[in-house]
Structure 1
Amino acid sequence: MTTMTETRTAVNPTAVAVADETTVDLAATERQALIERWAVRHGVDAARRLAEAEDMADAVAAEITSDNTLDTYAKSWRVWRRFCTATGLPEREGSRGALVAFVAWMLREGRQNGTGYAPSSVSTHLTAVVVGLRERGVKVSGDDQAEARTALEGLAVKLLLAGERRGRGQAVGADIDGLRAVARACPDTLTGDRDKALVLTGFHYASRSQEPAGLLADDVALHPRGLVVAVLTGKTKHSVRNAKIRYADDPEICPVRAWTAYRTRLVVEHGPRWAGPSTPALVGLDRWGHVTGGMGPDSVTRAIKRISQRAGVSIAWTGHSLRIGLASVARRNGRDGITIAEQGGWARHSRSMLGYMQRGDGWDDNASAGLA
């Protein structure tokens, strides 16, 4: 059964703000009550200053939360609302039973088409919904959330034992042979030069899709030994970095030469204004070679897939293939984890980075090799 609020939201996205008026009113009421308690405890002036500090903390939180994260929170809250509608449970209640039921429902039938989500997606939605509940003034205990995660882990194991594997799995990583195929398949056009520069440089600093999309021309600086890429749009404090990219021994797949050729051609064909320091480092181009502006994260992802398909790689790359590829190839070539982490913007001993360090068939890099 669809509620009136859901119907309005489906027709008019701006109705989301109206639907959340109760949340805003609740937050304002709770804030006022908190200020009054501070006034009793510390005096009116101190309460006012504490309230101003709270406003500043809210502003900082909003500033450092990425658009992708906000989008995830919004999507997950819609999933939670569908669950509450389907089960008749109240939206603003984060009890142990509600969270465990939410996990089970998502695995069983939570997607729009009536099928279950992959466990990784369930985990993401659970995290985001707990955040959403707390933002709406609902108390969610750590123990109740932990029990929902325990339920998720147990149910995910049962799916595996039943032979059911969900989700796309980890994206395939780029490799050196793939980079060569990409370089050879790029046409002798500005678009081809842009594609080559995007892939070759992105591989060498283990880029996420949003990182090349966020680069300005001045963020990529030539150095006597190569390039220095100032990544300023990373997801964490570790991913904001100055990544150094050296000249490659093989000119065919040299990221520095590819970048220089692309930027030179862009200025020659479209004018000196594209050499300005605040212009996009990677531009979008239509089928006729006209500049359409800077590339966004989605266009970077689509471009990487298209470029890899044109090159004939066996499995099309995704927006994460360059990031996985750097970790995998560097590990196979003897680079230590700390060096890889600094180049790619991971925390040292990051679990995701360790997961990306794919080891081929497990024979060449085998923990038990030569022990007996």
Structure 2
Amino acid sequence: MATTITGGSVPRPESVTAPLNAKAAERQELIERWAERHGVDVARRLAEAEDLADAVVAEITPDNTVDTYDKSWRVWTRFCAATGLPQLEGSRGALVAFVTWMLCEGQQNGKGYAPSSASTHLAAAVVGLRERGVAVSGDDQAEARTALEGLAVKLLQAGERRGRGQAVGADVDGLRAIARACPDTLTGERDKALILTGFRYASRSQDPAGLLTGDITLHPRGLLVDVLTGKTKHSVRTAKIPYDDDLAICPVRAWTAYRTRLVAERGEQWNDPTTPAFVGIDRWGHVTGGMGPDSVTRAVKRISMRAGVPMAWTGHSLRIGLASVARRVGRDSIAIADQGGWARHSRSMLGYMQREDGWDDNAAAGLT
């Protein structure tokens, strides 16, 4: 790994021809202190360890997190261009102006962002500033967030409701409608398996997209699904999916039928444990490789619309559905968390459950 220490001496920042940004200059000063304290050889090894640490952080950061940071930085740079403010300053006034601009006109079409989106962009822009060596105080960031929350209240008071709101949750009636609507084709078998298994382990759209054939194994009591692509450590888990008494929506039978048909029609190579568990299939029935998160999201919406569910499902509907339906039938919250890969007291999971508890657990019910 490359470091700035070469030839047994530590060059001063001004001796480097390429200008160093603030973060690189800070690293250089740290290396110089190590060299004074421990000698050049030890400083070199410590610098290499820093490089390794940076590489590990980059490797374990989920792709969707990187995409969010990149998108939010582009929003920040558009804001700076529109207002004439410097990109590498994160002052209190600049951050408050940023959230105000986002709510008023920040989108590329000139419309304002929803407060939830503006909140995401604010947090990610601060990360981007700090990565580029800009000091952003916690107090300044907190003041910008307070301004954002206050402005969001003003929007509500003015009758503006922005954002799509929470996705609709899948339910058992929807599962039955989908199972009936799936055609007797390889695509239909794939669709049915995708929905019925995804519902049982509370899948996000990226979860089935990341599964390999070897990640799903038959067990005498059902399926074992090794979910390895969630965004938190709690999602690295083995979900157990039992057989369902209702044969029409049994996820185990749906998975077996899909995989049997895939191998029979498209070849034995799809039995290889390293192949994608869920394959993309074009309109002519050709297998195009593994499904990506976006294609899973589109498939869930298309499948639900074909079945005529009252509100089209999204890539998050299966996840919401497992939490809410399981809670409604009396499943323990810890068991639900373990099955879906949530932390055991996850606020998002409890929020999904609240959809079902609003009447049965209503504090105003049964008082007289």
TM range (shorter): over 0.9
Aligned to 1:262: 258
Deviation at 1:94, TM superposition (A): 0.7
Aligned to 2:135: 139
Deviation at 1:114, TM superposition (A): 1.1
Q: Secondary structure of the residue that 1:238 maps to in structure 2?
A: helix
Q: Secondary structure of the residue that 2:240 maps to in structure 1?
A: strand
Q: Percent identity?
A: 81
Note the alpha carbon deviations across 1:154-176, whole angstroms, 9 max, x for none: 11111112221100000000000
Deviation at 1:25, TM superposition (A): 4.6
Aligned to 1:3: none
Q: In 1, Cα distance between the equivalents of 2:252 and 2:192? A: 11
Q: In 2, Cα distance between the equivalents of 1:171 and 1:163? A: 21
For the pair 1:71 / 2:89, whether they are aligned, the reply is no
Report the TM-score, using the length of structure 2 for normalisation: 0.92
User: 8 Å contact 2:204–2:319 — kept in the other structure?
Assistant: yes
Label 1:359 to 1:313 Cα distance change in 2 as closer, same or farther (>3 A): same
Q: In 1, Cα distance between the equivalents of 2:169 and 2:110? A: 32
For the pair 1:87 / 2:87, whether they are aligned, the reply is no
Aligned to 1:356: 352
Note the alpha carbon deviations across 1:2-37, whole angstroms, 9 max, x for none: xxxxxxxxxxxxxxxxxxxx9975443332222112
User: 8 Å contact 2:222–2:243 — kept in the other structure?
Assistant: yes
Decide which moves more: 104-113 or 155-164: 155-164
Q: In 1, Cα distance between the equivalents of 2:338 and 2:19? A: 41
For the pair 1:160 / 2:122, whether they are aligned, the reply is no
For the pair 1:306 / 2:302, whether they are aligned, the reply is yes
Report the TM-score, using the length of structure 1 for normalisation: 0.91
Q: In 2, Cα distance between the equivalents of 1:232 and 1:27? A: 33
Superposed counterparts of 1:12-27, under 5 Å? 25-27=21-23
Q: In 2, Cα distance between the equivalents of 1:156 and 1:41? A: 52
Deviation at 1:370, TM superposition (A): 3.5
User: 8 Å contact 1:103–1:122 — kept in the other structure?
Assistant: yes
Superposed counterparts of 1:102-121, under 5 Å? 102-121=98-117
Q: In 2, Cα distance between the equivalents of 1:77 and 1:318? A: 27
Decide which moves more: 42-51 or 72-81: 42-51
Match of residue 240, structure 1, among 230, 236, 248? 236
Aligned to 1:15: none
User: 8 Å contact 2:327–2:356 — kept in the other structure?
Assistant: no
Deviation at 1:357, TM superposition (A): 1.6
Deviation at 1:49, TM superposition (A): 2.4
Q: In 2, Cα distance between the equivalents of 1:368 and 1:55? A: 58
For the pair 1:325 / 2:317, whether they are aligned, the reply is no
For the pair 1:194 / 2:190, whether they are aligned, the reply is yes
User: 8 Å contact 2:62–2:231 — kept in the other structure?
Assistant: yes
Deviation at 1:211, TM superposition (A): 0.5
Q: In 2, Cα distance between the equivalents of 1:26 and 1:314? A: 54
User: 8 Å contact 2:170–2:318 — kept in the other structure?
Assistant: yes
Deviation at 1:277, TM superposition (A): 0.5
Superposed counterparts of 1:51-62, under 5 Å? 51-62=47-58
Letter in 1 for 2:78: R
For the pair 1:185 / 2:181, whether they are aligned, the reply is yes
Note the alpha carbon deviations across 1:290-321, whole angstroms, 9 max, x for none: 11000000100000000000000111111000
Q: Secondary structure of the residue that 1:229 maps to in structure 2?
A: strand
For the pair 1:215 / 2:211, whether they are aligned, the reply is yes
Tell me, which stretches of 5 or more residues in structure 1 are unaligned?
Answer: 1-21
Aligned to 1:279: 275
- Count residues in correspondence: 351
Q: In 1, Cα distance between the equivalents of 2:79 and 2:19? A: 19
Aligned to 2:8: none
Tell me, which stretches of 5 or more residues in structure 2 are unaligned?
Answer: 1-17
Deviation at 1:356, TM superposition (A): 1.6
Decide which moves more: 75-84 or 332-341: 332-341
User: 8 Å contact 2:22–2:134 — kept in the other structure?
Assistant: no
For the pair 1:123 / 2:134, whether they are aligned, the reply is no
Deviation at 1:195, TM superposition (A): 0.1
Letter in 1 for 2:343: A
Q: In 1, Cα distance between the equivalents of 2:19 and 2:104? A: 29
Q: In 1, Cα distance between the equivalents of 2:83 and 2:191? A: 48
Q: In 1, Cα distance between the equivalents of 2:28 and 2:100? A: 38
Q: In 2, Cα distance between the equivalents of 1:361 and 1:321? A: 18
Letter in 2 for 1:71: D
Q: In 2, Cα distance between the equivalents of 1:25 and 1:77? A: 17
Deviation at 1:53, TM superposition (A): 1.6
Aligned to 2:6: none
User: 8 Å contact 2:21–2:133 — kept in the other structure?
Assistant: no
Aligned to 2:341: 345
Q: In 2, Cα distance between the equivalents of 1:162 and 1:52? A: 55
Deviation at 1:276, TM superposition (A): 0.5
Aligned to 1:9: none
Note the alpha carbon deviations across 1:314-368, whole angstroms, 9 max, x for none: 1111100000111110111111221111111111211111122243583233234
Q: Secondary structure of the residue that 1:166 maps to in structure 2?
A: coil
Q: In 2, Cα distance between the equivalents of 1:234 and 1:295? A: 16
